[in-house]
Chain A
Amino acid sequence: MGNYAENNMRLGIFVLVGLIVLIFAFYMVGKNKSIFGGNFELKARFSNSNGLMKGSNVLYSGIQAGTVKSLKLINDTTIEATLLIDNEVKSFIRKNAIVTIGTEGLMGNKVIQITPFKGNSPLVKEGDLLESKKVASIDEMLQTLSRTNDNIAGISDGLRQTVVEINKSTLWKLLGDKAAANGIESTINQMHQASINANAFSKDLEMILSETKSGKGTAGLLLTDTAFATQLRMALVGIKSAGDHANELTLQLNQMASDLKKDLDNSNGFLNFLVKDSLMIKKLNATMDNIEKGTDGFNQNMEALKHNFLFRGYFKKLEKEKEKRKTIDQSLRIDK
């Protein structure tokens, strides 16, 4: 009989351990879904739920804070989400906190992120409506990108024209003028720098494009990822500033060119100094090459952009507009 009791003890331990594991598992699962423990409700409104679902997680500053209890259509442009938030974080969320819809991980579920906003504000109360912020959608970002590229294309065109103008200008006559020569030297240095910059930017752009392209391959979902989106946006800002920079440069170059012209018209001194400086000439040539390469790079990027499926629509639209303009011009000419 002793053996029987011992076996019963073992059986008891076995069953208890099993039950504890099971209860633990239910607790862990329940904890994720806010089944246990106190909680309260908050509300937020969005124009687009982006695939948010009932039960999606709510993060406060990146920490699990609750779940989405329900989603309700208020009207044709507004969706109200009721959030079930753990009481633990209640004392941290203020009324001016901002609610956004984000993505969990690379291809994960949609989550709601509550981000604290600077400045003092009273704490939230049960049922408060929090302000939501629209995160720039990927479509919009890509449109900005193409506009920026357009700008860059225009800039590089301008750059090219300037270079041509410089080439056309009677540079050799210029070489005698020492002041002009100094000016040219510094300008050329600046141009050198600009072309290097332009090259680098075109490479950046190329990288972004290839990333976008491969995004189509592995998973279109990549495009809905917020992390990638911010990266893209940053790159776009870079390109834009580069474009601005380049624009300034062209302006300067234009100025330089007109200055040179003036110089040429007015005087013909110190040309010999420059002519003898072979190093300078080499530099000049290399710079010209660089500029050309840079603009080539831009052109290639533009081509690539045109071929990219994402921008195809946009470029088609652009072409259509061009054609429209042409026909308008023609009709205007005919009118004349």
Chain B
Amino acid sequence: MKLWTLTEGNKEFINETGSITKFANRFFIVGMKPRYEFKELLTQCYLIGYKSLPLVALTGFIMGLVLTMQLRPSLIVYGVESQLPEMVGISIVREVGPVITALIFAGKIGSSIGAELGSMKVTEQIDAMEVSGINPFKFLVATRIISTTLMLPILTVLADAIALFGSYIGVNINSVTSFSLFFTQVFQGLDLNDLLPAVIKTFFFGFAVGVVGCYKGFNSNKGTKGVGIAANSAVVLSSVLIFIIDLLAVQIADLMGLNY
């Protein structure tokens, strides 16, 4: 029974893991049933997806540019500078694009959901919704989780495209290449096996950000401090989860033979 002589922190960690799993499960059981909050869903999609685009676009652009400029010297050493677009394309589409975008997304959306729901909880707005016969889980949580799950893949795809554009400019700083040649080379290096797992995993990233943000906000403690903690821990936990999902994704892709 020594296994169970855990420290307080460990207990809390395990407890929270269970709670979040329950929370996610509740999303599938309660959130998926009618009635569907389409209007709120669209509003959230707008706020979560569209409003995040400028930030994600900026980071994507810089990411592509910097990655290209950093990779160039190494490729010159091996005399394969011409492979720069392929290399950048693969790294952006497979890994850098999804993960960086998800992290930025977790920072922006995870914290805002955590803070918003947290302050709604603290000011009894969630209770108010509940007693007026509106299921706050459906109205607040399900819509946000669905929005993050659907919007992050789109954001990632756009960020990838913008990152590749940044990369194109990065290539053109030191040498000259045409736009069409660059993109032909990028897609030369890409495979369905690169694209598909990368797109699929972003749905899970988005889901994780939504679930964690909502869970933290929904269960925040009383007081303004509780709201701050909710926002902060939502970002931290969802960032960690993104990496864990990424790890799982690469292993699953490996098992399915998509990583050769």
Contact = CB atoms under 8 A, between A and B. Distances in A.
Do any beta carbons of A and B sit within 8 angstroms of each other in the complex? yes
Interface of A: 4, 7-8, 10-11, 14-15, 17-19, 21-22, 25-26, 28-33, 35, 105-107, 218-219
B157 A22 contact: yes
Main secondary structure on A side of the interface with B: helix
A10 B46 contact: yes
A168 B80 CA distance: 57
Nearest to B189: A32
B220 to A, nearest CB: 27
Interface of B: 39, 42-43, 45-46, 49-50, 53, 78-80, 82-83, 93, 153-155, 157-158, 160-161, 183, 187-188, 190-192, 194-195, 199
A107 B187 CA distance: 18
B195 A29 contact: yes
B154 A18 contact: yes
A21 B93 CA distance: 13
Nearest to A14: B50
Given A11-B45, A11-B46, A107-B80, A29 B192 contact: yes
Main secondary structure on B side of the interface with A: helix
A8 B46 contact: yes
Contacts, number: 73
A29 B79 CA distance: 26
B144 to A, nearest CB: 15
Contacts of B154: 14-15, 18-19, 22
Nearest to A30: B192
Contacts of B183: 28
A14 B79 contact: no
What are the 10 closest A-B residue pairs judged by CB atoms, nearest first?
Answer: A18-B154, A28-B187, A11-B46, A14-B50, A7-B46, A22-B157, A21-B161, A18-B157, A21-B157, A29-B190
A218 B187 CA distance: 27
A7 B39 CA distance: 11
A14 B53 contact: yes
Contacts of A105: 80, 82-83
Nearest to B47: A7
A31 B186 CA distance: 13
Contacts of B187: 25, 28-29, 31-32
Given A11-B49, A31-B187, A105-B80, 7 more contacts: A10-B46, A18-B157, A19-B154, A22-B154, A25-B195, A26-B192, A29-B194
